[in-house]
Amino acid sequence: MNLVARMPELMARIFHLRGGKKLQTRDSRPQLGLVENFTHILGIDGDEAERMNRVLRFFFILHMDHGGGNLSTFSGKAVASGRASIYAAISSAMSALSGPLHGRANQSCLEFVKRIGTDDPDEIENFVRRELSSKRPIYGFGHGVLRAEDPRARLLIELGEEVCPEDPDFRTVKTLREVVPPILSEIPKISNPFPNVDIASGALLQSVGFRKPDYYTTFFGWSRVAGITAQILDERAARGGRGTPIYRPKYLAKNQPIRRLES
């Protein structure tokens, strides 16, 4: 709880320091709530704060927990299984999240949307087919586990219809959602051609004032702190309080040449 409670001020300090401010302009007010305290420390008020708070609350709830197999959650739980402190475990989880293949997804998706620069279906289809022919990724689609549209993507798009329906990037996202799945379905090896949570989250964060995509991983990390911590506590309480055994995954090397040592 101490770690979760400190996150709003920690996040606000990161934003202030990266923005060139040595000191935060407002004192922390924890009684406001986690998200509300963050925007308060940033100096955001009125309607702007309410829109920002609404999107951030939605973002945090949807990103807080998503099973135990994703890289950051697994890393945090694996370290915790050795009875490391919760701080060491969460630090390892955030280190995992720092890698671009895991933590940069919504930033990459927004950059992809901006490269498209239109919500015209025909132009988007042509763009996507050119990307595929050049062996480049189509960001915001597919999932390692799900085989249908990510329900979090649907909920974020519904929220976008309320808070930023005319935002150009959000309009591009909506068209991508309709145009891309039929195209990806033409590729036999793709098992899930549907949108994932990253398709809209970057556009929504940008629409409420977070203009620098390189900050977006920090929001992902903030949301995961509570979810990962909850899973660690569950595992510590397992087996009548003895906790789960230390993690020891088994690995099987496939499609690798056999290397022999000569005597």
The pLDDT of residue 77 is 96
Q: Which two tokens stand for residue 86?
A: 């919760």
Q: Is the pLDDT of residue 181 over 90?
A: yes
Mean pLDDT of 166-180: 98
Give the pLDDT confidence of 45-93 residue by residue, as tens digits. 999 999 999 999 999 999 998 777 899 999 999 999 999 999 999 999 9
Q: Is the pLDDT of residue 223 over 70?
A: yes
Q: Is 143 a catalytic site residue?
A: yes
Q: Is 198 a catalytic site residue?
A: yes
Confidence of residue 125 (pLDDT cuts 50, 70, 90): very high
**Residue 145 or 52, more confident:** 52
Q: Is 122 a catalytic site residue?
A: no
Mean of per-residue pLDDT scores for the chain = 93
Q: Is the pLDDT of residue 231 over 80?
A: yes
Q: Of 246, 76, 227, 60, nearest to 159 (Cα)?
A: 60
What domains, with CATH codes, occur in the chain? 2-102+213-241 (1.10.580.10), 103-207 (1.10.230.10)
Q: Of 20, 196, 11, 2, nearest to 94 (Cα)?
A: 11
Give the pLDDT confidence of 184-205 residue by residue, as tens digits. 999 999 999 999 999 999 999 9
Confidence of residue 254 (pLDDT cuts 50, 70, 90): confident
pLDDT > 90 in the chain, percent? 81
Q: Where are the alpha helices (DSSP H) in the chain?
A: 2-18, 34-42, 46-63, 71-81, 86-97, 100-103, 105-116, 121-133, 151-163, 168-184, 198-207, 216-241
* Catalytic site residue from 16, 65, 102, 120: 102
Long-range contacts of 243-248 (CB under 8 A, 24+ apart): 243/81, 243/83, 244/81, 245/81, 246/81, 246/82, 247/77, 247/78, 247/81, 247/82
The pLDDT of residue 18 is 79
Mean pLDDT of 202-229: 93
Confidence of residue 23 (pLDDT cuts 50, 70, 90): low
Confidence of residue 24 (pLDDT cuts 50, 70, 90): low
* Catalytic site residue from 66, 143, 150, 169: 143
pLDDT > 70 in the chain, percent? 98
Confidence of residue 22 (pLDDT cuts 50, 70, 90): low
Confidence of residue 1 (pLDDT cuts 50, 70, 90): confident
